[in-house]
Amino acid sequence: MEKQGTILIVDDNTDVLLAAKLLLKKHHKKILTTDNPFNVESLINDHPIDVILLDMNFDRDAISGQEGLYWLKKIHHQAPSIAVILMTAYSDVQLAVEAIKNGATDFVAKPWQNDQLLTVIATALAHAEDKKALNKLSRQTQGLSQALSTPQSEFLGQSDAMLQVFDTLEKAAKTDANILITGESGTGKELTAHAIHAQSPRAQMPFISLDMGAVSGNLFESELFGHKKGAFTDAKSDRVGRFELAHGGSLFLDEVGNMPLAQQVKLLAAIQNRQITPIGSNQVIDTDIRLICATNEALPEAVAQGQFRQDLLYRINTIEIRLPPLRERAADIPLLVQHYLDIYQQKYRRELSLPASALRTLCEYHWPGNVRELAHTIERAVILSEGSELAIHSVLVAPSQMQTPENASPMHTPDTFDLDIIEQRTIRAALKHHQGNVSHAAKALGLTRGAMYRRLEKYGL
């Protein structure tokens, strides 16, 4: 029979400690002993203790049992999932009842019968496992209320490019392999992650997501691994990390290419070991997750430049799913347009028809912001259209009026070669096209939001 459980024996009588240890080490995985109850707190922090055998009297000639009750309360406050069995040479029914009321699992009189003690500990060990399971469920439930994503839109497509994506997705979802989703911003990487989870054996378990690009360096470990109350200045309560919240389910890390190297090392260790340690704790927590990552960065190039760890790339990239930009799946545009038109007509209580000319304009547009931009465009058009038809012209510049790489004339000579002037004009045009939305304009220009804001300040825009 496999040995189970870590047992801590607390008694000021060294003979009792030795006798109990010799008996229990034959049946349990690890036996710890101490003759000083003040050592219990550090021992709990350093070891995954399941059951504590606690003496009730430590002062010589003491028989009241109040010391035992005091340390019982301390242990229960620090680690409520640990089962505590109280021991005393002065058996007292009333004291035993009081001990049980204060959280003790059982009560044993000294000297004990070996078979009786083994039975009591076996029962306490099972009780401890039940308490740990309930505590974990409670922590997950509490954290899930804050971390679960909002309902997702349908994952749509009928083009050859998307049918290939769906085929790979269906095969990969059935496994527990780590998946890396790549593609430009707005192509639907989070929707893909949700679809993988929904088609996987873990579908009934949590789907937890985290945007790595939005996590500052000092919060990285807290977000992923959690922390204990008091671990740092602002840690006013325990926090459950995303790894623990996703236990049994899927963990989606978006924009994983934005992680600094120092954070990459810690993520790699958690993936390899399948274990985490919350900040401020010495307790190792086993994790069981399906890892899905996404990026719009070229990670092989980042590896070559020393900005991304190759061993981490191997870990997260068992299977890669590349999402094509909307310009490579133009056959899906009519389907997507109708889908978002239905959604936003219902949301804003509108009834609008879709003219053939408007659909043609939408199909000819190059969509630098991909599906996300299309969805926002249809939403704005539904809001701003004044008649009974969807007025795309109110929110979208016709392709013939735009100087895109596809339709720009190579023979056109600009009226100036001043790069600052050209850049300023381009930024103005992008802002006008995107209705003043800085984030969308920045994406269309291939700039980060920070770089975009610096240019706006530079040109006074």
Helix/strand/coil for 199: coil
Rounded-to-integer distance, Cα 17 and Cα 33, Å: 6
Structure tokens at 233: 């200045």
Rounded-to-integer distance, Cα 143 and Cα 195, Å: 22
Which residue's structure tokens are 């989703």?
Answer: 181
pLDDT digits (tens, 9 = 90+) for 142-185: 444 444 444 444 678 889 999 999 999 999 999 999 999 999 98
Other CB atoms within a 10 A radius of the CB of residue 136 amount to 15
Instruction: Tell which residue, 191, 458, 186, 224, has the closest CA to residue 329.
Output: 186
pLDDT digits (tens, 9 = 90+) for 294-351: 999 899 999 999 999 999 999 999 999 999 999 999 999 999 999 999 999 999 999 9
Rounded-to-integer distance, Cα 382 and Cα 389, Å: 9
Instruction: Tell which residue, 387, 366, 368, 347, has the closest CA to residue 446.
Output: 368
Rounded-to-integer distance, Cα 245 and Cα 225, Å: 10
Helix/strand/coil for 196: helix
- Pairing, β 239-240 against β 226-227: antiparallel
Rounded-to-integer distance, Cα 68 and Cα 297, Å: 59
52 Cα distance to chain centroid: 34
Rounded-to-integer distance, Cα 196 and Cα 155, Å: 11
Instruction: Tell which residue, 317, 290, 319, 324, has the closest CA to residue 165.
Output: 324
Phi/psi of residue 238, each to 5°?
A: -65, 145
Contact predicate 162/195, CB 8 Å = no
Q: Which residues of the chain have pLDDT under 70?
A: 1-2, 59-65, 90-94, 96, 130-154, 394, 397-420, 449-450
Rounded-to-integer distance, Cα 48 and Cα 37, Å: 17
pLDDT of 267: 94
Residues paired with 276 in a beta bridge: 285
- What residue ranges define each of the domains in the chain, with the CATH number in brackets? 6-140 (3.40.50.2300), 160-324 (3.40.50.300), 327-403 (1.10.8.60), 413-461 (1.10.10.60)
pLDDT of 416: 62
217-220: list long-range contacts, CB under 8 Å, 24+ apart.
217/260, 217/262, 217/263, 220/259, 220/263, 220/266
pLDDT of 66: 78
Rounded-to-integer distance, Cα 89 and Cα 108, Å: 9
